[in-house]
Homo-oligomer: A and B are copies of this chain.
Amino acid sequence: MTTSDWLEELQAERTGLGRASTAGRVADVLRTRITEGHLPPGTRLSEEDIGAALGVSRNTLREAFRLLGHERLLLHEFNRGVFVRKLTVDDVRDLYQLRRILECGAVRRAAERRRAGFSADRWVELLVPVRDAVEEGEAAAARDRWVEVGTANMHFHQAVAALAQSPRVTEAMGHLLAELRLVFHVMDAPQAFHQAYLPENRAILELLAAGELDAAESAMATYLDAAEAQLIDAYAAGPA
């Protein structure tokens, strides 16, 4: 192992170390609290109460609010406070429109690279995270760990987006999925919802591995159309 290897590894860890900011940690706490569903959409987050509960000053807390506001998890209304984002049916449609563009686009871009000279080894290597996510979901379903099925499903789509090999696409997909979690909590049985798509994930993976890239892209498109319709139905029955 040469010196440059050491330095490279250290540089990879640098982003993890920079997380020392108090506001950033507060944002992390609130983010998981929100995406896990403990804070229902519409809940008002009082600066004083939460600041006291977490032991941070109002100024620091406001910085955390800004962070989550830009991730669209919180809605900041001037002179009124911040609220857990409440998504409308139009928001769901918009999110899936963006998903179609991002995920199908990522598949398409990966396909173009593969056609433009890409070794077979490099291709399977690129698909490893996708395969991992698929198997993670199947294993979780076999053990009836429904919440893990849900997170595995997220991992699958995140991995697909990562096929574009674009940090910005990956980050946008991360924010998109976090926002979508707000939607999933309004469903009666989110477990069954995610589980139903496990075979689809497997099918798309196999299409990708086989190099059937156009088929993979259209499979993803119909996948997303179906999921969107199902979610919108749940919304029609529920709130909004």
Chain A residues with CB under 8 Å of chain B are: 18, 20-21, 59, 62-63, 66-67, 70, 78, 94-95, 97-98, 100-102, 104-106, 108-109, 164-169, 172, 176
- For A78, A95, A168, the residue with the greatest tally of chain B CB atoms inside 10 Å of its CB is A168
Q: Which residues of B contact A67 (CB under 8 A)?
A: 66, 70
Beyond known contacts A66-B67, A70-B70, A95-B168: 9 more, CB 8 A cutoff:
A20-B78, A59-B59, A62-B63, A97-B164, A98-B169, A98-B172, A101-B164, A102-B105, A105-B105
B166, A98: Cβ atoms closer than 8 Å: yes
Q: Which residues of B contact A176 (CB under 8 A)?
A: 168
Bound complex: CA A168 to CA B100 (Å): 12
Return A74 CB to nearest CB of chain B, in Å.
13
Bound complex: CA A167 to CA B78 (Å): 21
* Identical copies of this chain, number: 2
Q: Which residues of B contact A59 (CB under 8 A)?
A: 59
Q: Which residues of B contact A166 (CB under 8 A)?
A: 94, 97-98, 101
Please judge, given known A-B contacts A101-B164, A101-B169, whether A21 and B78 are in contact too, CB under 8 Å.
Answer: yes
Bound complex: CA A59 to CA B168 (Å): 29
Bound complex: CA A115 to CA B124 (Å): 36
Bound complex: CA A108 to CA B104 (Å): 11
Q: Which of chain B's residues has its CB closest to A63's CB?
A: B66
- For A20, A101, A176, the residue with the greatest tally of chain B CB atoms inside 10 Å of its CB is A101
B100, A101: Cβ atoms closer than 8 Å: no
Bound complex: CA A164 to CA B101 (Å): 9
B100, A109: Cβ atoms closer than 8 Å: yes
Return A126 CB to nearest CB of chain B, in Å.
15
